[in-house]
Amino acid sequence: MEIYETESEIAKRKNWLLSLIVIVLVGIGILVVLQVLALAVAPFLFNISVEEIMGLMLGDYSPQNGRMAMFFIQGIGSGIGFWVAAYVVMHYIDKADLHWEIQLPRFNLTGAGLVLLISLGGMLFNGLLVYWNSQLVLPEFMSGIELWMQEMETQLMEMTKFLTDFQSIPELLMGIVVIGVLAGIGEEMFFRGLIQPKMHLYTGNGHAGVWLTAFIFSAIHLQFYGFLPRLFLGGMFGYLYYYSGSLTYPILAHIANNSITIILVYASNQGMIDFDMESTDTVSYPAAMGGLLVLLAGIYYFKKINKPNGELEQGI
């Protein structure tokens, strides 16, 4: 189970609404402040004007060094931002202890190998969820909402295509650092490390805690046609923490999932393989079902080697 020990009054079950409001306010505040700081520093680091950076955010991808500048802003404003937000809430508001002296020893090579296997299986199965989600059609009376969702999805996909159109090895490495490492650590610290144990406490059910957190994790990305696959990933990361009591495993899985995708995109851009991140027209059911079997088998053995050992687990 998750490790989150605190005796703070605000972290108690009866104060769940106040605690969530504080998390939202602190999270938004820190993300905004770090985003502004990154925007202020980026022009000096990448020889690009603030106006050009604003243009990048609105879809003008012509400025030189624009990709590196956007990676920098995203890395500071989001990846590190989630990490800092989680730290502030945990240490200064909840006064919580994650007991890393217990969490870190729980990480081992066997578990890491299973996590990588689970991640690969999850990526294969997720292809089917991407396909199903892309077929989403809302009722006629919600056509206006559907049009807005499609426009939002198109804008976000254009930004993603721009960011992953790596033209050099340094850009590829920057992409892995920002999208893979920083996002993996920051988002897992915030969602699995902070939110999930709270949802577990508030509902009194570990599985409900995993899936409520996964729902929030998916919804906050504002990609409606990617909601189902991201919900699935959030659930997968959540169970890795729930079954092991160590955040190191969901962090590893998150980094692996994002980094492998980035490397596949780069290899495709270089003509090494045939991989289209945008494609939702077809799906390989055998690959998806094979991935699901690998995923389930991996989760089964992962849970088996991480049986509770009676140590301190959840204290809120």
Taking a C-beta distance cutoff of 8 angstroms, is the pair 247, 103 a contact? yes
User: For the residues of 150-190, what is the DSSP string, one character each?
Assistant: HHHHHHHHHHHHHHT---SHHHHHHHIIIIIIIHHHHHIII
- Percent of the chain at pLDDT > 90 equals 65
pLDDT at 15 (0 to 100): 93
Q: Is residue 96 part of a domain?
A: yes
Query: Is 313 inside any structural domain?
Result: no
**What per-residue confidence (pLDDT) applies to 276?**
64
Tell me the residue length of the chain. 316
Q: Do the domain assignments include residue 208? A: yes
Q: Which residues, other chains included, contact 231 with Cβ-Cβ below 8 Å and sequence gap of 6+?
A: 214, 215, 217, 218
Query: Does some domain include residue 3?
Result: no
> Tokens 């990676």 identify what position?
71
Question: What are the CB-based long-range contacts (under 8 Å, 24+) for 269-275?
Answer: 269/165, 269/166
pLDDT at 194 over 70: yes
pLDDT digits (tens, 9 = 90+) for 36-66: 999 999 999 999 998 998 888 888 888 888 8
Residues 252-272 pLDDT 10s: 999 999 999 999 988 888 888
Counting Cα atoms < 13 Å in the Cβ hemisphere of 64 gives 1
What is the value of pTM for the model shown? Answer: 0.92
Whether 276 contacts 134, CB under 8 Å? no
Q: Which residue has the higher pLDDT, 99 or 170?
A: 99
pLDDT band at 148 (very low <50, low <70, confident <90, very high): confident
In a domain, 150, yes or no: yes
Q: In this model, does residue 315 exceed pLDDT 60? A: no
DSSP-assigned letters across all residues of 213-224: HHHHHHHTTT-G
Residue 176 pLDDT exceeds 60: yes
Domain membership flag for residue 312: no
Q: How many folded domains does the chain comprise?
A: 1
Mean pLDDT of the chain: 90
User: pLDDT digit string (tens) for 303-314?
Assistant: 999 976 444 555
Domain that holds residue 261: 9-305
pLDDT tens for 200-228 read: 999 999 999 999 999 999 999 877 878 99
* pLDDT bracket for residue 278 (50, 70, 90): low
